[in-house]
Amino acid sequence: MTELIKMDGLDKALIGRSCIWDSTGRREDRLIYSGEKIVAILIARDGMTAEEAMEYIEYNIEGAYVGEQTPCVMWSQFMDDLERDYNVYGTEKPEKKERKKRAKKTDTKKQSI
């Protein structure tokens, strides 16, 4: 088996490996990276905005072919949902901590009723 291709500096976004068989019956293994985790790394490490990070991934990672073992990026949501969740177009969305606080308050209210 040939060595799998890793993306530099994105080890924390690595989530697994895929195995597919090509049309000639040859097995191809590829590493799978989480798109959301790559976005978080690019924001924290490189100071990108979410929009810049997603554009970077689309052009420089998803758009790159570096051989048969080119890594794969997996997204847990559809792009429209991601753009909304990452506030790409400037629409307001509460931060994660605020959402958790509201959820706890709601849970407390439900318990006291």
pLDDT along the chain (113 residues), means of 10: 87 94 89 94 94 92 89 81 59 46 49 45
Note whether residue 104 is domain-resident. yes
Note whether residue 41 is domain-resident. yes
Note whether residue 6 is domain-resident. no
Residue 3 has a pLDDT of 85
Note whether residue 86 is domain-resident. yes
Residue 73 has a pLDDT of 94
Q: DSSP H helical segments within the chain, as ranges?
A: 35-46, 50-56, 79-85, 96-112
The half-sphere exposure of 112 on its side-chain side, counting CA atoms within 13 A, is 6
8 A C-beta contact, residue 58 and residue 75:
no
Question: Could you say which DSSP state residue 103 is in?
Answer: H
3-state secondary structure of 67: coil
Residue 112 has a pLDDT of 43
Note whether residue 2 is domain-resident. no
Which domain does 81 fall in, by range? 11-112
Number of domains in the chain: 1
Note whether residue 32 is domain-resident. yes
